Amino acid sequence: MSKTILHKANTRGHADHGWLNAHHSFSFASYYDPQRMHFGMLRVLNDDAIDGGMGFGTHPHDNMEIITIPLEGTLEHKDSMGNIGVIKNGDIQVMSAGTGIQHSEYNHNKNEILKLLQIWVFPNKKNVKPRYDQITLNAGDRQNKLQQIVFPFAGDESLKGGSNGVWIHQDAWFHLGKFEKGNTIEYSIKKKGNGVYAFVINGDVSIDGQKLNARDGLGIGDAEAINIYADSDTEILLMEVPMG
């Protein structure tokens, strides 16, 4: 039997700052729950809605792998490495904070809300050279199947992201999938000992028999594979990470 942990959407931490409406699957900022500090190497899963023209001023990070997935709208990014980027739905952004970076993030548009997921993963190597990458993926490649968006560093620091996703300093694999009602799929764990945290972006699914709705999260450890059934048209994010 696999070990599971269920995080229903309405049990997440919540902060409404006026310009920012944020939900936290794990302890973050003013939200603290000692039972929800992380899932293995997955440290942060924030579900943010940012008002037009608003955002986060310049602030620091270090020794963290940071993945940003825009769901609606457009994000403007600037950092201390000289990168200036605009990312939208369909794009994936990654930063290896390493020895330290400073960056800012803003809603690029004045008249629409920006919705995004920001995910932090503990790295398997500390004090690496900071790096930034962003890619645009073909959303059609996740229709009724899983599309890889994040994979582990394979030894070539010059490698940019491509059709198979972006790399991070961790033995982690992320996949996005959009499934029509009635579809089923099996996901096999890629590295023994890893766990999977599933996050439902939209719709309703059953994972290993556990029914989940929009914005619910389910962590599954000690399994070799998981089975996903679309109870309605649905979009999900799977994050496979080391548990140790």
Question: Would you place residue 2 in the very low, low, confident or very high pLDDT band (cuts 50, 70, 90)?
Answer: low
Please state, in angstroms and as integers, the Cα–Cα distance from residue 103 to each residue in 55, 96, 115, 132, 167, following that order: 11, 12, 19, 11, 20
The yes-or-no verdict on residue 79 having pLDDT over 50 is yes
* Secondary structure (H, E, C), 147-171: EEEEEECCCCCCCCCECCEEEECCC
What lies within 8 Å, CB to CB, of 15 at 6+ separation is 21, 22, 24, 29, 30, 31
* Residue 158 confidence (pLDDT): 83
For residue 53 the two structure tokens come to 């023209």
| Averaged pLDDT score across all residues of the chain | 95
- Tens digit of pLDDT for each residue in 134-150? 999 999 999 999 999 99
User: What distance lies between CA 38 and its chain's CA centroid?
Assistant: 13
The strands making up 131-136's β-sheet, listed across from edge to edge, are 13-16, 20-24, 42-50, 114-121, 65-72, 91-96, 131-136
* Residue 216 confidence (pLDDT): 98
The yes-or-no verdict on residue 1 having pLDDT over 80 is no
Compute the chain's Rg from CA coordinates: 17
CB 120 within 8 A of CB 64: yes
Report the distance separating Cα 45 and Cα 120, nearest Å. 7
Query: 17: phi > 0 → left, psi -120 to 50 → alpha, else beta; which?
Result: alpha
* Residue 154 confidence (pLDDT): 87
- Tens digit of pLDDT for each residue in 168-205? 999 999 999 999 999 999 999 999 999 999 999 999 99
* Residue 39 confidence (pLDDT): 97
Q: What is the pTM (predicted TM-score) of this model?
A: 0.96
CB 113 within 8 A of CB 70: no
In DSSP notation, 94-136 reads EEE-TT-EEEEEEES-SSS-EEEEEEEE--SSSSPPPEEEEEE
From the list 167, 68, 65, the residue with the least C-alpha distance to 123 is 65
In order of start, what are the domains of the chain with their CATH numbers? Answer: 3-242 (2.60.120.10)
- Tens digit of pLDDT for each residue in 6-31? 999 999 999 999 999 999 999 999 99
- Tens digit of pLDDT for each residue in 17-66? 999 999 999 999 999 999 999 999 999 999 999 999 999 999 999 999 99
